[in-house]
Amino acid sequence: QVQLAESGGGLVQAGDSLRLSCAASGRSFTSYAMGWFRQAPGKEREFVAAISWSGGNTYYTDSVKGRFTISRDSAKNTAWLQMNSLTPGDTAVYYCAANYVKSSGVVLTTVYEYHYWGQGTQVTVSS
């Protein structure tokens, strides 16, 4: 089992930066991939970024490429989402997600591939 705890959301102005963090606890001896999703009012939850268990593979949705960076620490128990050049279009509740994987290099990019979710943290970008 994996438990996730998120932090780092807030209210910022367009062009500012935020760093979200996600602390994972549980059976860390089993490999798990992690990802970030977001959900704006009236919209479906959408994929933002993902990282493999090894940390060596990442993937981003087109709208955040070049602005957002996903990473995880050497102990593989914390993930971050560094968000730069924020726009009002980035306003959403951001969720951390994880799931066990059999291969250390695989990335998971859909909500259906994740089983464990954080509580969500609100990111609001004003113009």
3-state secondary structure of 30: coil
Q: Which helix (DSSP H) or strand (DSSP E) does residue 117 occupy?
A: strand 116-117
> Residue 127, exposed/middle/buried by CB under 10 A (0-12, 13-18, 19+)?
exposed
**pLDDT band per the 50, 70, 90 thresholds, residue 29:** low
β-strand 78-83 against 68-72: which pairing, if any? antiparallel
Please provide the average confidence, as pLDDT, over all residues in the chain: 94
pLDDT tens digits along 90-103: 999 999 999 999 99
Which pLDDT value is given to residue 28? 67
Place of tokens 């593979």: 57
Weakest-pLDDT range from 25-39, 62-76, 86-100: 25-39
Which pLDDT value is given to residue 2? 87
Q: Is the dihedral of CA 89, 78, 65, 62 positive or negative?
A: negative
> Cα separation of 72 and 5, whole Å?
14
The answer on pLDDT for 114 being more than 90 is yes
**pLDDT band per the 50, 70, 90 thresholds, residue 77:** confident
The answer on pLDDT for 11 being more than 70 is yes
3-state secondary structure of 92: strand
Q: Is residue 45 a contact partner of residue 95, using CB atoms and an 8 Å limit? A: yes
